[in-house]
Amino acid sequence: MIVEVRSYRIKPGKRDEFINFFETRGIPALRAHGMQVLGPLLDLENPNKFVWLRSFPSLEEREQMRDAFYGGDVWKNELEAIAMPLLESYDVTLCETSAGYVFDGPRESGGDVASVNVMKTLNGSST
């Protein structure tokens, strides 16, 4: 599995606005193109930063899904104009899971079922 570790630095004071946009508009659009998302994960030391992960079955499918998303009407005509002015900068680290990759999942009670399902998918479990 291919995983992008994406670190976003948001313009000062705009993280809450970006997170709301990302959770309500960005994640559904990414999922509609077949991408799996884990996050957002809020940086506890920097109030203008967050991290999220996006996964793909293979490098080839990553390229296809990204091209469809960024070349599509929703990104070009709606999301890009909202997201980009809020971003200061971002970094992407492209990773591949090892054969022994594990993810233990959430330990908090009352976890979000959708998040648990995403984590199971990231871990390769179907149940």
In this prediction, residue 101 carries a pLDDT of 87
φ and ψ of 11, to 5 deg: -60, 140
CATH 3.30.70.100 fits 2-123, yes or no: yes
Burial 23-36 (b: 16+ CB within 10 A, else e): eeebbeebeebebb
For the chain, 127 residues long, give each residue's pLDDT as a single digit of tens: 999 999 999 999 999 999 999 999 999 999 999 999 999 999 999 999 999 999 999 999 999 999 999 999 999 999 999 999 999 999 999 999 999 888 776 665 554 444 444 444 454 544 4
Domain positions in the chain are 2-123
